[in-house]
Chain A
Amino acid sequence: MTLLEVTDLTVSFSTADGVVKAVRGVSFGVEAGRTIGIVGESGSGKTVLTQTLLGLTPGAAVSGRALFDGIDLLSIGETQMREIRGARIAVIFQDPLTSLHPLYKIGWQIAEMVRAHDKSVSKKQAHERAVDLLGRVGIPRPAQRVDDYPHQFSGGMRQRAMIAMALSLSPQMIIADEPTTALDATVQAQIIDLLLRLQQESNTALIMITHDLGVVADIADDVMVMYAGRAAEKASKRDVFYTPHHPYTKGLLESIPSSSASGARLRPIPGSPPSLINLPSGCKFHPRCGYVLDRCLTEEPELRLVSQEGFHSSACWLPVQAAGLGERAEELRAQTVREGRGEAAAEVFEAEIAEALGPKGSVAG
């Protein structure tokens, strides 16, 4: 059953410098008990996307539809949103230090959350619930620690407390926005382990926003790769990692220092992400793409299916068969480029090559 169905969501902000087109027509669905990983670099729109769903982007121009259990999140008022936010859709933010109030005890903050949504719960019951929740997320001696202040908790424990708070009203969906980015590797492992266990216990849907492909490989069922406010590629986890179609996804995977090629030169994506105020023409990735064709400069590709089975789709003009990291796919891409690259695209490509190589030749050579 699809719990959340987002259709053609567009979000833009008016600023003094111009209109920031943060999200441009994104559609996706989340099912109960499943995890979707939303991957992208800074400025790809992944955080704005989810905050808009919760009505946390005041002043933004929003269009599209987001049906959550039959309710359109984008058209309801603040009162109705308050009943959903926190209770039925919970959020875990990146930085647990700034998302907890420093002057209130941890337990009080969890109890407050419970009582804000359900007045029939007594203070004592809410407190007991807080102790129980802290125990569930693995805080030792919860009955004592419930009266600690946030500064008495370590980073990992604060994130556990945030998760306890998110779980306090048994939400149907959790949005986790870079929940482990600020944490050390061993603590990150603890938190991911905890999220997976809790999800299995209560069949919650999870939206995991991250820039870390390793976290996605661990926790996601499905993946949406975002670039410049759009979905570049949507697929099951295995398809994204083993048969990526979009050159951006492929580039991301190749930029990671992998254990197989220690010390070898990395293959970064040249350049940097575009300004969301002044987006390039055509495909927004074309100035950084190694497979740019003439049509990429003028026509923006829509997401389309690239495999017969499943829902693997990619927004790229390369033929659907050109998915994968193997030689055959590469040959197909090269052939398409030879046929589809006229003078205009060749110029872009030359500039890109020059940038990728850097000025090294001129000075060191």
Chain B
Amino acid sequence: MSDPRVSTGPIPTNPTTPAGDDVLVRVENMVKYFPVRAGGLIQRTVGQVQAVEDVSLSIPRGKTLGLVGETGSGKSTLARCVAGLIPVTSGRVIFDGRDITNLSRGAMRPVRREIQMIFQDPYSSLNPRRRVGAIIGDPFIIHKTATRAERKRQVQELMERVGLNPEHYNRFPAEFSGGQRQRIGVARALALKPKLIICDEPVSALDVSIQAQVLNLLADLQRDYGLTYLFIAHDLEVVRHVSDSVAVMYLGRIGESGPREPLYRSPRHPYTVALLSAAPAADPDAAAARQRIILTGDVPSPIDPPSGCRFHPRCPKAEAVCSQQEPQLEAKAGDAATHLTACHFPVQAGENLAAASRSKLR
């Protein structure tokens, strides 16, 4: 099936991503559509879920990129495309200097070793019928990297490394708590010494005290092994804690991206501002003082996204141009060259967006 979005000419390189050796992962103009089919026996395509639309980003080696967005923002789809788990519609994924976009199964196999994933739910991502040793040892068998005796030793080393008791090698996942299961997931991801680990909401299902344990573990592993993380989460405080740079996604597009502190301290996209104001702070005084921006409505359907800026129907600052012209992701006046915002009317320092949202709400 041909897709109208598949570009024919050479793909332009994104001027905002530095093309140095230190970049481990570069995503260029990635587009991912899922067909929507209807009809009984004979299925025809009636539309496209535009899950990821023209996204470019890069992650320097040994650093962490935090990817923030709500349900339906396309952040998990983007991660799966980077990992090569699903083919992309158009665009490129450059990993370690090599184009890995839509490689064949065989060609992808050695790459898979270097890109691993940690999933959200430590209950459903581990096979309940298999022993922990076997679960963590699988990567060695699949990639034929160790003999049986070596395998056991390596698995036990991994278990110790992630803070599990190596004597529990023969236990089943059900015998571990949620935090320990997530450690099993981390050990499995670590087995083949990957370069990139994609963490898809790795701590969302954990209790606060356990969440901190796993975040510390991930930080230690990054320091010791020089790992690069693509860290997906909806919890903004967690992302702020772990990330070097942050990208905010809304309905398949990046609304704002940049180094952590400028983005959190002076966000320019109204959506980022709203998201930050909505995140609950565990501090009663801060909560009382905060001007919360209440967005109207829900995230629109990615099958039929709004014209122009995709955020305009919910944006307190939207004007006529926003529904007609799509804003480019670019550095705004007064921002660093790495702090990019896709907005016609970026938020200025000291601007009261909450008041604007209230007046629009009434």
Contact = CB atoms under 8 A, between A and B. Distances in A.
Contact of A189 (B209, B213, B292): B292
B216 A256 contact: no
Contacts of A364: 161, 220, 224
B275 interface: yes
A229 to B, nearest CB: 16
B207 A211 contact: yes
Interface string B252-294: 0000000011001000000000110111111111110000111
Interface in A202-248: 211-218, 237-238, 241-242
B180 interface: yes
B298 A157 contact: yes
B335 interface: no
B278 A185 contact: yes
Contacts of A215: 280
Nearest to A240: B284
Given A186-B70, A262-B241, A41 B215 contact: no
A188 interface: yes
B210 interface: yes
Contacts of B46: none
B112 interface: no
What 4 pairs across the A-B complex have the smallest Cβ distances?
A214-B280, A268-B212, A257-B241, A189-B278
B215 A217 contact: no
Nearest to B215: A266
B280 A259 contact: no
Q: Among A186, A241, A265, find the residue whose CB has the most chain B CB atoms closer than 10 A.
A: A186
B149 interface: no
12 contacts: A42-B207, A140-B297, A157-B298, A184-B299, A189-B293, A257-B241, A258-B237, A262-B260, A268-B209, A268-B216, A359-B161, A360-B161
Nearest to A263: B241
A272 interface: yes
Contacts of A193: 292, 294
A186 B296 CA distance: 9
Interface of B: 70-71, 157, 160-161, 163, 177-180, 207-213, 215-217, 219-220, 224, 234, 236-238, 240-242, 260-261, 264, 274-275, 277-287, 292-295, 297-299
B260 to A, nearest CB: 7
Nearest to B212: A268
Given A257-B238, A265-B219, A268-B216, 16 more contacts: A184-B70, A185-B279, A214-B281, A217-B287, A218-B287, A237-B284, A241-B283, A259-B237, A262-B240, A263-B241, A270-B213, A272-B179, A359-B160, A359-B163, A362-B160, A364-B220
A322 B30 CA distance: 56
Contacts, number: 141
Interface of A: 41-42, 140, 154-157, 184-190, 192-193, 211-218, 237-238, 241-242, 251-253, 255-259, 261-263, 265-270, 272-273, 358-360, 362-364
Q: Among B237, B238, B261, B298, find the residue whose CB has the most chain A CB atoms closer than 10 A.
A: B298
A257 B160 contact: no
A265 B297 CA distance: 38
Nearest to A157: B298
Contacts of B238: 257
Nearest to A254: B212
A255 B211 contact: yes
Contact of B282 (A140, A256, A266): A256
Contacts of B292: 189, 193
B209 A358 contact: no
B132 to A, nearest CB: 16
A265 B295 contact: no
B344 to A, nearest CB: 21
Contacts of B293: 189
Q: Among A193, A261, A262, find the residue whose CB has the most chain B CB atoms closer than 10 A.
A: A262
Nearest to B176: A272
Contacts of A251: 209
Contacts of B178: 42, 272
Contacts of B260: 262
Contacts of A213: 208, 282
B275 A185 contact: yes
A217 B160 contact: no
